[in-house]
Amino acid sequence: MARFLFPEWTQPLKKYVITPALLVGPVYIVLMAALVKDPQTLRVGYMPEQPVPYSHALHAGEMGLDCRYCHNVVEQSAKAAVPPAATCMNCHQTVLPRSEKLLPVRQAFFENEPLRWVRVTDLPDYVFFNHSAHVTRGVGCETCHGRVDRMVRVWQAQPLTMQWCLDCHRNPEPNLREPANVTVMGYQPAAGEGAAVKARLKINPPTDCSTCHR
Amino acid sequence: MSSLDHGYWKSIAELDRDLPSGEAEFTPADPEASDDGVDPLSRRNFAKLMGASLALAGVAGAGCKRYQREEIVPLGRRPEDQIPGVTQEYATSFELGGHAHPLVVTSYEGRPIKVDGNPEHPFIGGGVVAGTRRHAGSSAFAQGSILHLYDPDRSTGVNHSGKAASFSDFKTWIGELRKQASFNKVRVLAEATSSPTVQALRRRLEGAMPGLIWHEWEPLSWDNERAGMVQAFGKVVRPIAELDKAETVVALDCDFFVDHPAAVRYGRDFARARHPATSTLGRGRMNRLYAIESAYSATGVMADHRLPVRTEHVLPVAQMLESLLTGGPAPRAEVVNEAKVKRLVEALAREIRANTGRVVFLVGRRQPAAVHALAARLNQTYGSSAVRHVEDPEPTRPTHAEAIATLAREIKQQQVETLFILGGNPVYDAPADLDLGALLGQVATSVHLAEYADETSARTTWHVPRAHYLECWGDGRTWDGTLTMQ
């Protein structure tokens, strides 16, 4: 029954601080909400510096290596995983074996001092994501990661919000292709390909919360 | 105002009005009384506003970057069969009391996360329904063992005289030791192990350091059973019960579902003879379990008939049973004349006679040799098709109690200058009258290899951290002698 009592001198605050705050508050909230939605905040385009100036544009684009040469577990695991240094050394033992830029790779390979790549595509830890569930069901890398084959340094291509995930889970058809072609960049699905894949593989992405929050 | 129209309960307002007049006088002065109830400055609203502002401040502060920077750190060379993000299973074993317990461990990117029994192990594998091979049990100790691996209290470094030292310091000291001409004053006190590799290393050590003596001490010892077998058969053998073939099981102070090296196997076999449809005894038949024990154990809980008696009364009760079965003299102890004891023992004797050949007697490791010998005799007569015996791998070793007493005597006689304690915590669990803790003060240099810096480490010169069984290779043997990898 007792009320929270403030000292007498705070009475003017009621008039001059709280009331204006109540008026400005909604504007502030709207502004913050807009900022949260802003691509800048969502980090689309986020492109951190990497310890080795490795270029997808060169290796995956120009040289045309398949994504799965390096991200070879992507079809079996929740993770796509960055390849071990041993994969790079398949070539770089003979190609540019003394390059300064490749020193950290050699250290990882010969001295077991692991490379520390900076994560680009980052979901919060409370979200469960699974690569194999998408890649084997005809969602291409490009749909979520953009034209990696044109990126010298990888940057984040999609907003990665819950809405973004759900937009596709509710209507996957436009984004589906033959699973054999998931790693092809700049792919143009044939007319009706999405619908055909969806029907054949009985694709029905779940939208209940426990799919992604477990 | 205390007369209530509705009779049974008071609202808070009524309670307030019932207050003695002196306190009630405050009410008009309380601003809330004249309030319309929407004052934005009530305590709750104030807290809400503050909370919201703080939350928004948080958004603003982190607004420029959503999440903290994370790193992806792949292995330099990925093992061939490892798939990041996918769990792997491998077979291993865990040793407790010198006996291996076969396990399958699930590991995630090299980190063990789950322990289970090994369903394909010849000793413990296979399901309860005979013929299935998909399941195997594990013990509470095995389940607990994985927590050690991640225990932040595990010791992580070498200690010398209570101060942190490095492993190379320790190696330097070992190097000095190896240069000695004679190793007559070097002793090893090891915990029991069934590992053939450790036994081979022991022989190599004894060859390389002539004069060195290796003692074995184990608190979870089955030495009483060994002594009982010698009394009964003239040699050390190990009894193994086939509980799936037993109609009557008699546990004499023996918690064979938990405190037995073959507990997992016994649990499985016992259940096999209890499944109403697929019982190994025949459809619709079940075994019957009698527990004669001093403390309520898991076995007692499962028993059809449980007789609580003091530990030292297990022997006379068993003797009574033997005398009823074979006609020998009855024991003179009071306890056998108690009505409840008499009733149970007489009924049990009748059942044993009826089921001759398919009765198993199991005796706990705390019971004296006499009880083990008596049970061995009864098993010979009444359990011929449900109990077998296997050779003991070390029939000639001294008992654990003798071994540690010998070591204590050697220390007192100044015959020990260097002592290696390999595993265990003997200062804590050796017989108290030896006062091993004080004796360690008379040993010039002592080394304790252990997972934790414990009571023993506190008394030794060196403490060396020990690898967990999930961190190293090894081997062992189960109770029946099956070789098992770790």
Band of residue B12 on the pLDDT scale cut at 50, 70, 90: confident
For A86, which residue in chain B has the nearest alpha carbon?
A: B77
CA distance A89 to chain B (A): 10
Q: What is the pLDDT of residue B26?
A: 45
Q: What is the pLDDT of residue B118?
A: 92
Q: What is the pLDDT of residue B29?
A: 45
Band of residue B25 on the pLDDT scale cut at 50, 70, 90: very low
Q: Based on the domain organization, do A78 and A88 belong to the same domain?
A: no
Radius of gyration of the CA atoms of chain A, in A: 24
Band of residue B261 on the pLDDT scale cut at 50, 70, 90: very high
| Number of domains comprising chain A | 3
- Do B41 and A14 count as a contact with CB atoms less than 8 A apart? yes
Band of residue B49 on the pLDDT scale cut at 50, 70, 90: low
Q: What is the pLDDT of residue B39?
A: 55
Does some domain include residue A4? no
Q: Based on the domain organization, do A106 and A19 belong to the same domain?
A: no
Does some domain include residue A214? no
- Do B76 and A86 count as a contact with CB atoms less than 8 A apart? yes
Chain segment B360-383, per-residue pLDDT in tens: 999 999 999 999 999 999 999 999
Question: Which parts of chain A register pLDDT below 70?
Answer: 1-3, 36-42
Chain segment B130-141, per-residue pLDDT in tens: 667 777 889 999
Q: Based on the domain organization, do A140 and A187 belong to the same domain?
A: yes
The length of chain B is 486
Q: Based on the domain organization, do A107 and A182 belong to the same domain?
A: no
Q: Based on the domain organization, do A78 and A153 belong to the same domain?
A: yes
Q: For residue A107, which amino acid is it?
A: Q
Q: Based on the domain organization, do A137 and A72 belong to the same domain?
A: yes
Band of residue B20 on the pLDDT scale cut at 50, 70, 90: low
Does some domain include residue A167? yes
Per-residue b or e along B241-270, where b marks 16 or more CB atoms closer than 10 Å to that residue's CB: bbbbbbbbbbbbbbbbbbbbbbbbbbbbbb
Helix, strand or coil, per DSSP, at residue B293: strand
Alpha-carbon distances, residue B339 vs A3, B133, B199, B295 (angstroms)? 73, 46, 52, 20
Q: Based on the domain organization, do A78 and A105 belong to the same domain?
A: no
Does some domain include residue A53? yes
Band of residue B61 on the pLDDT scale cut at 50, 70, 90: very low
Does some domain include residue A2? no
Q: Based on the domain organization, do A87 and A185 belong to the same domain?
A: no
Check whether B62 has a pLDDT greater than 50: no
Q: What is the pLDDT of residue A40?
A: 57
Q: Does B80 touch chain A (CB under 8 A)?
A: no
Chain segment A181-196, per-residue pLDDT in tens: 999 999 998 889 999 9
Q: Does B69 touch chain A (CB under 8 A)?
A: yes
Band of residue B9 on the pLDDT scale cut at 50, 70, 90: confident
Tell me phi and psi for residue B144, to 5 degrees.
-70, -25
Check whether B27 has a pLDDT greater than 50: no
Q: Does A13 touch chain B (CB under 8 A)?
A: no
Residue partners of B351: CB distance under 8 A and separation at least 6: B248, B288
Check whether B249 has a pLDDT greater than 90: yes
User: Fold for domain B236-390?
Assistant: Dimethylsulfoxide Reductase; domain 2 (3.40.228)
Q: Does B35 touch chain A (CB under 8 A)?
A: yes
Q: Based on the domain organization, do A127 and A97 belong to the same domain?
A: no
Helix, strand or coil, per DSSP, at residue B457: helix
Q: Does A115 touch chain B (CB under 8 A)?
A: yes
Lowest pLDDT segment from A2-6, B98-102, B172-176, B321-325: A2-6
The reported pTM is 0.79
Q: What is the pLDDT of residue B468?
A: 95
Band of residue B177 on the pLDDT scale cut at 50, 70, 90: very high
Q: What is the pLDDT of residue A14?
A: 76
- Do B83 and A76 count as a contact with CB atoms less than 8 A apart? yes
Q: Does B7 touch chain A (CB under 8 A)?
A: no
Rounded mean pLDDT of B322-329?
92
Query: What value, to the nearest 5°, has the Cα angle with vertex B416 and ends B415 and B417?
Result: 125
Q: Which CATH number fits domain B159-220+399-467: 3.30.428.10, 3.30.70.270, 3.40.50.740, 3.90.1150.10?
A: 3.40.50.740
Q: Does A63 touch chain B (CB under 8 A)?
A: no
Range of the domain at A32: 10-42
Higher pLDDT, B5 or B468: B468
Q: What is the mean pLDDT of chain B?
A: 88
Q: Based on the domain organization, do A148 and A189 belong to the same domain?
A: yes
Q: Does A26 touch chain B (CB under 8 A)?
A: no
User: What's the CA gap between A154 and A56, in Å, rounded?
Assistant: 7
Q: Based on the domain organization, do A77 and A87 belong to the same domain?
A: no
- Partners of B158 in the β-ladder: B165
Check whether B438 has a pLDDT greater than 90: yes
CA distance B52 to chain A (A): 10
B61 CB neighbours in chain A (<8 A) are none
A18 CB neighbours in chain B (<8 A) are 40-41
Does some domain include residue A5? no
Band of residue B128 on the pLDDT scale cut at 50, 70, 90: confident
What percentage of chain B carries pLDDT values higher than 70? 87
Q: Based on the domain organization, do A59 and A162 belong to the same domain?
A: yes
> Measuring CA to CA, which residue among B246, B266, B260, B229 is closest to residue B391?
B229
Enumerate the domain spans of chain B.
Answer: 1-42, 87-149, 159-220+399-467, 236-390
For B97-234, where are the E strands, in sequence order?
99-108, 111-117, 158-160, 163-165, 186-190, 213-216
- Residue of B12, B43, B69 with shortest CB distance to A118: B69
CA distance B34 to chain A (A): 12
Band of residue B10 on the pLDDT scale cut at 50, 70, 90: confident
